[in-house]
Amino acid sequence: MIDTAVIPVAGLGTRMLPATKEQPKEMLPVPMRNSRHGLVFKPFLQLVFEQLYDAGIRRFIFVVGRGKRSIEDHFTPDWGYAHYLEQRGKKREAELLYEFYQRLEDSTLVWVNQPEPRG
């Protein structure tokens, strides 16, 4: 059984300029319908992670490059922020984060730095 996914996210995203000048292409929002929450926008990479998680993968190796700190930040649970949203009455948004963070907690994430683009 496959239990590890290697996800290359080190590219510069030049084919998607100007949208990717300040934001990695992997973090661009994608609209999707959720049966419990209606229309939600999630970063593309989060959707990939969630689909792999749903397929049974629990170990993820992200190959990242320069300027991709926002990816690692996004995949680091911030329970305090989720609680803050819940306290402010944003229960839907908080629940989406709780679900995502629980998946992250149940997974092993490894970050490999690629110092220069190679492909």
Please tell me the pTM assigned to this model. 0.90
Residue 118, pLDDT > 80, answer no
Domain boundaries, the chain: 4-76
How does residue 69 score in pLDDT terms, banded at 50, 70 and 90?
confident
Helix axes 44-54, 91-105, angle to 10 degrees: 60
C-alpha 44/C-alpha 25 separation (Å) is: 8
Q: What is the pLDDT of residues 72-113, one digit of tens each?
A: 999 999 999 999 999 999 999 999 999 999 999 999 999 998
Location of structure tokens 């000048």: 21
How does residue 60 score in pLDDT terms, banded at 50, 70 and 90?
very high
What is the dihedral sign for C-alpha 18, 116, 7, 92? negative
Q: H helices of 4-90, where?
A: 44-54, 69-74, 79-87
- In angstroms, the Cα distances linking 64 to 39, 53, 79, 81 are 29, 20, 24, 25
C-alpha 111/C-alpha 6 separation (Å) is: 10
How does residue 66 score in pLDDT terms, banded at 50, 70 and 90?
confident
